[in-house]
Amino acid sequence: MQQTPTPRQILNTLLPHLRVAAAYARQIQPQIAARPIKEEQENMFAAALSDADLSIQTLVEVALIGSFPNIRFFGEEYEQSYNTKYFRAIDLGEQGDYLVTLDPIDGTQFYLDGHDNYQIILAILNADEFEAVLAISPAQDIYYYALRGEGAWQGKLEDPLEACRPLQISETQPAILLGWGMEAIAPALKDQYQIFDIATGYSHEVQIPNLNGMFSGELAGAIIRTGKWIDGAALAFLAQSAGCIVTTLEGNPPPPLHSSTDYQRPGFIVAASNSIHQDLVKAVQVTHSTLMQP
């Protein structure tokens, strides 16, 4: 029986291929043309689709099938991929039967608009929790990764995992990111924090922080309506591994992955400190109760 690779082995194997994907994304960004918008999406960020999404997913799929032919894999573009049928499964497995996920371009609208804070996010999920997350920022020549119980790390793209330094989130700007559908919370926070509201404040010309702003200190916290495994929930795990506080909107610990449906966790809060977390939980509580719904 083939031995299951460890999360670190998976990251080490895929990192060279992800470097190639990052170079590709960076190279074609000035020339990229948007492909047809995805149907039945609730906002422009979910709807945006570029050539880079499909090409990077194909690259990673080829590397995975060639290296770990028995692995589970779910990529954002699975419905359009030529390779989905070659994976053993695309869903969450039993404990120890890892699922690899990929968001080939997280922040596709940012990418299409020429901003530099888009990412390539690869995650390894166990039945209960993330085992590893690796997030590459191609245009910033940096990547972050976390392994369950081993903290979070950051390095230049050319650095091997072992050469990365610990990711420590200490000094942050007094700024909060509100994800799509959370704009009603802004009045409860605007006296204390600068608010970046994705729904009403996104600009095609002027870059605003994405959730990865937690890692650079651009953000002190974020309130996100739903935590998709491939992006938001993965970045929340990375932030938590770096010392941030991550809870549901009610302030409770995130539920185990196997209790979730549709490849996502409930909405969540990320905060750089206890006091910030208290402010964000209070802001959610005093806002309309419909925001507490998944």
Show binding-site residues for Mg(2+): 76, 103, 105-106, 231
| Helix (H) or strand (E) run with residue 66 in it | helix 51-67
Say how far apart CA 54 and CA 236 lie, in whole Å: 24
The dihedrals phi and psi of 116, each to the nearest 5 degrees, come to -105, 5
Residues that constitute the known binding site:
76, 103, 105-106, 231
The dihedrals phi and psi of 68, each to the nearest 5 degrees, come to -135, 75
Give the SS3 label for residue 258. Answer: helix
Give the SS3 label for residue 185. Answer: helix
DSSP E strands in the chain: the ranges are 72-75, 99-106, 119-125, 130-137, 142-147, 152-156, 165-166, 175-178, 194-197, 221-224, 227-228, 245-248, 264-265, 268-271
Class of residue 270 by CB neighbours under 10 A (exposed 0-12, middle 13-18, buried 19+): buried
Max Cα–Cα distance, the chain, nearest Å: 60
Say how far apart CA 285 and CA 251 lie, in whole Å: 10
Q: Say if residues 84 and 78 touch (Cβ distance below 8 Å).
A: yes
